[in-house]
Structure 1
Amino acid sequence: MNRPTEGIATDGAHSIKNSLTSYRGVDLRTGEQLFREHIGNQTINIGEFLGVVEAVKYIIENDYHPKVVYTDSITAMAWIRNKKTASRKKYPNLKKAEIFLKAMSTQVDQIQVIHWNNDVWGETPADFGLK
């Protein structure tokens, strides 16, 4: 399968040195950064998950096509599919994301969340380059 050229690629990053977690999304067609957030000292899984949720929101709010989000995080994909995280962290934005996914379930279920295969395609265009 060729490297995807359409949809939204997302990624999360966590800097232990700076105690800062971030996520962002990039339009695969244009290379444009669609969103980027710093969320304080969270976990990489929280950053990856909230990046996918933000991409889903972006697709719904902007009638973006194709309705496809790419992430290299298996955990984020599972949390999106379940519309619930497995995190024990008490972070209000996690609860808000779960509520959004459940409330907008019909629209959310129309959006494909696909695993970005780093081994075949290289790092996602949304990668922060911190590895």
Structure 2
Amino acid sequence: MISLNEGIAVDAAHSMKNRKTEFQGVDLKTGKTLFYTDLGNQTINIGEFLAIVEAVKYIIDHDFQPKVIFSDSTTAISWFKNKRTASGKRNAKLMKAEIYLRAMAYWVDEIEIVKWDNRQWGEIPADFDRK
């Protein structure tokens, strides 16, 4: 049974005005921000995908329990499951993320990814709250 109070929630934000894409991950149990990255000018899907990959790295590096990541991005979840993006925008961070997911597949495949249901559960706790 999945608990909405444990795991890592991730989200990304993109500002057209500031030409800035950023993402973060939040520990659902403590509310603490575990990581934050400013990607510069990318797309929201790239930000969401890289947020998931960063959460995977965090779980593996810190033996974080439970091994559950929540994301509200269907596209990023799909890219994660395929261990490959469908982005036309190629860059080093995306390529490294794809390679990491494939190289670490034994550990990556132990991690559960859950689609956060904004309608039912409200805004994902990692949301940047800028709407």
If the length of structure 2 is used for normalisation, what is the TM-score?
Answer: 0.97
Q: Which residue matches 1:129?
A: 129
Match of 1:112 in 2: 112
Task: Give the Å deviation of 1:91.
Answer: 1.4
> How much has 1:18 moved relative to structure 2?
0.2
Tell me the percent identity: 57
Alignment CA distance shift 1:90-1:2 (3 Å): closer
Deviating beyond 3 angstroms after TM superposition, the runs of 4 or more aligned structure 1 residues are none
Partner Cα separation in structure 2 for residue 77 and residue 90 of structure 1: 18
Report the Cα distance in structure 1 between the residues aligned to 2:92 and 2:39, rounded to whole angstroms: 11
The SS at the match of 1:23 is strand
The CA deviation string for residues 2-38 of structure 1, in whole angstroms up to 9 with x for no partner, is 9700000000110011000000000000000000000
- For residue 46 of structure 1, what is the aligned residue in structure 2? 46
CA contact (8 A) 1:23 1:51 kept: yes
- In the other structure, the counterpart of 2:80 is 80
| CA apart distance, 1:130 | 1.9
For the residue of structure 2 that corresponds to 1:24, the secondary structure is strand
**What is the match of residue 70 of structure 1?**
70
Equivalent residue number for residue 61 of structure 1? 61
Q: 3-state DSSP class of the match of 2:85? A: coil
Going from structure 1 to structure 2, the CA distance change for 1:19 and 1:62 (only over 3 Å counts) comes to same
2:10 maps to 1:27: no
The gaps in structure 2 that reach 5 residues or longer are: none
TM-score by length of 1: 0.97
Q: Secondary structure at the match of 2:23?
A: strand
Question: CA offsets per residue over residues 33-84 of structure 1, 9 Å max, x none?
Answer: 0000000000000000000000000000000000000000000100000000
Q: Distance in 1 between matches of 2:91 and 2:47?
A: 12
Native 8 Å contact 1:3 1:121 kept in 2 = no
Residues 95 and 32 (structure 1), Cα distance of their counterparts in 2 relative to 1, 3 Å cut? same
Q: Which amino acid aligns with 1:39?
A: L
Gaps of 5+ in 1: none
User: CA RMSD for the aligned pairs?
Assistant: 1.3
Amino acid at match of 2:90: K
